[in-house]
Structures are given as structure tokens and as C-alpha cells.
Structure 1
């Protein structure tokens, strides 16, 4: 018998990688993840993508998290917003001036994925509430952890309940059709502590997660079956 593990309270996608995202009421889910999620990135002249860290694929670009992006119902290009929430008329020109990098531009994903890890991140309210208790001096908000799905869990659900889902499959409500296969947790980095609009710098958050849970937080999932997810839908383990 299927076990309901929670109700979708929030849906998020991040049209431009490493910028603030947009909340959705519902969204199509395909093999890549939520439609339009991380579909674009800020790419430099060497082909690396703007991120909060330096790797072979990614280049650290401080300040991206103070921006936000939105697709709405369009997948033909994102809207970019400055740190005050104002729309940017020319994203490429703005990014070059804002980042003080003459070689950057918005790029749509092609052969190289913009995803850091797996397609979908699910975070529970039980775990988010634990972070608030563990770092009482910090302003804790789901935006720090950039989930695609914030899942409202039943009262008294223990924190890190997500760990028990790895290797299992979850399905949405009957109307949804979508299925997720949970694989592992995200390994959190300093990006969770970085200031963004309404959220000051908070290094104590990462310290608490590192001490209590080896720096891991959420459940990362692959898409087992495409479909549609909406706020208010249940997720059930099968």
C-alpha cells in the first residue's frame, strides 16, 4: 500500500542557474526535471557556467544569487531581475556590467548540463524546521537550499526523514502521473550561507548541517515517469 509522505507546499524552478527562482502553482516534469529549471546559465568565454564554486564546469561568480529569474509560461528565454527586483532590459549587457566580466552572456543548455547534481531536489518542512532550531540566530528560509519541491510533512515527522527514501520511488497524485526515484542527498556548500534579498549572510547554517548530518540536506531524485506536479498534490512512496 502506498505511503503518503507529504503534500507539496511549494514548487520552485530556477530558470537561470545560481540566481533566485520563481514559485509555481504547477509545472510539467520531463526526463530532465521541472520544465525550464536551470535551462539557462551565465556562461563565460571559456565555456564555464556561473556558480557559487569553481570546478571544471563551473566558475564562481559572486553576486548571482542577488539576482532572480523567471520564465512564466515561456520557455523561449528568461526574464532577469536586478537585486531590487526590477526587470533587466538587456540581460547580457547588464551581467557584464554587474559582474565586471566582459566575456559573460546568458546561454541555453545544450550538450553540457547546467545541473550540479540530479534533476529534482525535495526538502521537507520537518528538516527545514530543524535547521531553524539548530541555527536560531540565522534567518532560515527554503530559498537558502534551493529546493524544487518543499514538502509539508505530518506533525512529529523527524528531521532528515528524506534519508529513508533513498532507493525508493514516489508518485504524485492520481492526476499527476509523475514519478520520482530518490537517490541521495545534496552535499551542501557555502552557497547556503550567502546573502540574498531578505536573507543576510549566515555561516552558522552550514556549520549546523555539517556537525549534525555531514553537510547533507534534502533528497535528490531522478525522473522515473514524466507528468505534472502541482501545489497541494500528495507524494506517496510506492
Structure 2
């Protein structure tokens, strides 16, 4: 059944830095080629730097990362000039290392989003420590699974830009509200060969509310999901504000903007 089409493709070569727009990409078991292959490690804590802890790391969203032809990455600062580990360490007052391998048990700190909404990004708030990539293959610095999808219907419902939610795919859909909620547990075919399994709704943190490059702060990007779309992502978790869904790759393939997106009943399993 046809449910939409690929409106946008986005890649984030360094976790928590701004990403880049693509017209096409290869997708394999570990996700979209070049996505979240690197991260900044806080050498004092041994944790991956993430804007999920805004008081420490909201400023990461002033920097952007783009993959280079030789397999590397180019980081650009808010002044438009190139930036490296030394400059980033100086900017944040913490020793940072750009790493390419996710160690087993790698974690990030996630501020409690409701406390950030109520008290602001500079306030001392509670946070949890979350393991990266629990539903992703080895390698890559994914929060949970290797692909993140969000629909145009959801973006209209929350009245916010896609960039705030950091998806890999924006799916153009008909209908109102959080339509991708119904995709959880289903398999999607995108283009001629790519096959995905949608595994869980995406719980939202404070990141969508933050300044993203030229985009100003927008508290509604979290407040509206908190009011309209609270779900239990996984058994044992509380109801959380959600927008978008996470997916695993069943069959690799090439993806392009404009590709049709279909729900399929075919029985395909991850090898």
C-alpha cells in the first residue's frame, strides 16, 4: 500500500552537529552511508558529547559537519571557518576527541525534557544516562536504531522544521497528526529495493527546542508532542512525548528523493 514519498534525505556525519541535505544515498544494515559515523568524546567523563544535555552541549548545534570525498569529515564553525578538535575543546572548555568507533556500552547524558521546558537550558536539571545504539549494528553513534523517519504530517502538527528532529528521511504523507505511529511493527519498502522495519516511536528530548544554526529556540517543538502524542516507546518505559519513528534495515538499497514509500506484508527478516 502506497503511504507517501521521500521528500528529504539528511545525513549527520558527526553526532549532535548540524547535518547536510542529500538527493540520494546508499543504505545498508548500519543505516544511511556516512551518517553518525563520528562523535565527540568528552575525555573527562568518557561519555559522548550530545546536545541532549543542553546546559553542556547545546552549542554543538552551532557547528555543522559534512562528509568529504575521501571518507573524512569537514566541520564548520558558526563563523563559517573550519573547526577541529582543538577549537571545539577551547569553545566548550572541555577536552574533546573526535572518534570513529563506538565502544561497547558507550553512553550519553539526557536531560529530563520536561525540566528543561520548565526551567530553561541553562538550569541544573535531572538527567539520565542512556546507552547508544541498542537496536543498531556495531559502529555508528545512533541513539537507538540506524534510521530515523518523520512525516510531513507530524511536522505540520508540531509546526516545526524537520531540522529540529534530526531525521534521516522526511516522508511526505497525507492525513493529519502523527501518522507514522501506525507504522510501528510494520515493514516499509522505499524505492525499488530498500526494505525497513519500523521498530519504535521516537521519544523526544530537549534538542528540538534548541537553537539550530540560524533557527531560533522553539519550545513548542517539544511542548506540542508532550501535549498531543505521549506514547510508551518500549515495554517498561513511561509515556513520553514522541515524534517520528526509528527503523532497522532489512534489505539494503539506494534511496532518492521522490521515491515511493509503501507498507508491505512480505515476511522479510534481518540476517
Which residue pairs with 1:124 in the alignment? 151
Q: TM-score, normalised by structure 2?
A: 0.76
Give CA deviations for 1:112-170 in whole Å, capped at 9, x if unaligned.
Answer: 451111111111111101111xxxxxxx211001010011113xx12111011111111
- Please give the alpha-carbon distance, in whole angstroms, between the structure 2 residues aligned to 1:217 and 1:170: 18
74 and 148 in structure 1: CA distance in 2 versus 1, 3 angstrom threshold: farther
Shift in Å, 1:72: 4.3
1:188-224 deviations in Å (ceiling 9; x for gaps): 0111101122211112321111011111000110011
Give the 3-state SS of the residue equivalent to 1:61 in structure 2: helix
Check whether the contact 2:16–2:61 (CA below 8 A) recurs between aligned residues. Answer: yes
The residue aligned with 1:18 is 16
Q: Which of 191, 195, 198 is the aligned partner of 2:214?
A: 198
Q: What is the aligned partner in structure 1 of residue 51 from structure 2?
A: 52
The answer on whether the counterparts of 1:95 and 1:105 sit within 8 Å (CA) in structure 2 is: no
Provide the C-alpha distance between the structure 2 equivalents of 1:33 and 1:74, rounded to a whole number of angstroms: 19
1:178 aligned to 178, 191, 194, which one? 194
Instruction: Please report the TM-score for the alignment, with normalisation by the length of structure 1.
Output: 0.86
Partner of 2:228: 212
> 1-side partners of 2:78 and 2:37: how far apart?
21
Unaligned runs of 5+ in 1: 133-139
Cα distance, 1:141–1:84 mapped onto 2, change above 3 Å: farther
Q: Is the CA contact (8 Å cut-off) linking 1:181 and 1:222 kept in structure 2?
A: yes
| CA–CA distance in structure 2, aligned partners of residues 142 and 32 of structure 1 | 22
- CA distance in 2 between partners of 1:111 and 1:35 (Å): 20
User: What does residue 100 of structure 1 align with?
Assistant: 93
Q: Partners of 1:53 and 1:197 in 2: how far apart? A: 16
Change (3 A) 1:53 1:205: closer
Per the alignment, residue 267 of structure 2 pairs with: none
Gaps of 5+ in 2: 105-139, 231-240, 265-271
3-state SS in 1 of match to 2:223: helix
Q: SS state of the match for residue 89, structure 2? A: helix
Match of 1:29 in 2: 27
How many corresponding residue pairs? 217
Cα deviation code 1:58-105 (max 9, x no counterpart): x95231011110004442x210010133333xx11111111121x211
Counterpart secondary structure, 2:49? strand
